[in-house]
Structure 1
Amino acid sequence: MLGNIEGIKDNLYTIITDSASTPYPAWTLGGLLLGRGLTIQKPMGPLSGTSGSSLRLSHTLATARPTKASCYLFGAAHLLGGWIVYDGDITNGAGFNFAWSTLYLIVNGRAGLKSVIHGRVNPLALSILALGNAGTYGKKFFWP
């Protein structure tokens, strides 16, 4: 039983380590960020008969992080980083993806954690995926 768990753990570690040599983690995060940028809603305007609290809620939800510009910028950067890895420059692509994943966490990480309080899990999931990319590509960049 214990040997089986060790084998599964070693196999999972190998899969995660080997995924840094592929563009798929970066493309996944980039695609999800671009998709999130396309689906962010604009705040609704003041309508007759609406209360002030619904207008504030609409503005709060629409201006929540990650913003549209942030999603497009980081999404495009991760797609480019994935292309660098796909093109064969694995070390530089891993460093590029590590840097942009870390920057995403600096800009949007705290808001991702706070979003759970407001009932939104998408920003938290994007932050967790960025953390995974930073760890995976960072290991490949610093310890090839």
Structure 2
Amino acid sequence: MVEKTSVETSVGETKALGVLHGLASTPWPAIGLSGLLIGTSLLSPKHPSLPPFVQRFSFGFVFAGAGYIVNTGDVRNGSGVATAWSLTYLLLNRMRSHFYPPEVPVPRTPLSLLLSGATASVAALYGVEHFVIDPGLQVTADVS
């Protein structure tokens, strides 16, 4: 049998979770990342320190779709889509940087760090929303 018990949290933790929940319930982080990815793909299609054009353009449309899903009111699925594709983007680009030969330095520019940082922020924000169902309740198993 599973019973739900209340977890005591401080006022600061409750406010912080409320702010995160409020921000993750809006489509703007995903749409902002979408605009950033599509914008960089249109401004500089072949930039050596950025992911390929097709990858940036495609991921931009995926994040626009995640923002649309959140905007329709389906926050749970929209946050799941944004989290999964954010982590996929980070994995693909991290792996890409590891396969450079040792003598070739990996080009890092402020723009590439901005893309990675924004994507990691979206993954963290929507990931908390998707995986933390109710921060005020804790599920415990009754072993008796």
Q: TM-score, normalised by structure 1?
A: 0.70
Tell me, yes or no, if structure 1 residue 15 matches structure 2 residue 29: no
Aligned to 1:104: 89
Higher strand share: 2
Structure 2 portions without partners, runs of 5+: 1-9, 101-105, 134-144
Aligned to 2:113: 124
Distance across 2 between alignment mates of 1:36 and 1:23: 20
Shift of 1:123: 1.1
Distance across 2 between alignment mates of 1:14 and 1:20: 10
Query: Counterpart amino acid of 2:24?
Result: A
Tell me, yes or no, if structure 1 residue 140 matches structure 2 residue 125: no
Aligned to 1:37: 41
Shift of 1:67: 1.3
Q: How many residues align?
A: 119
Which residues of 2 match residues 26-105 of structure 1 at below 5 A?
A: 26-42=30-46, 62-105=47-90
Distance across 1 between alignment mates of 2:111 and 2:53: 14
Higher helix share: 1
Query: Counterpart amino acid of 1:133?
Result: V
Identity of aligned residues (%): 32
The structure-2 alpha-carbon separation of the partners of 1:119 and 1:81, relative to structure 1 and needing over 3 Å to count, comes to: closer
Counterpart contact for 1:31–1:75, Cα < 8 Å? yes
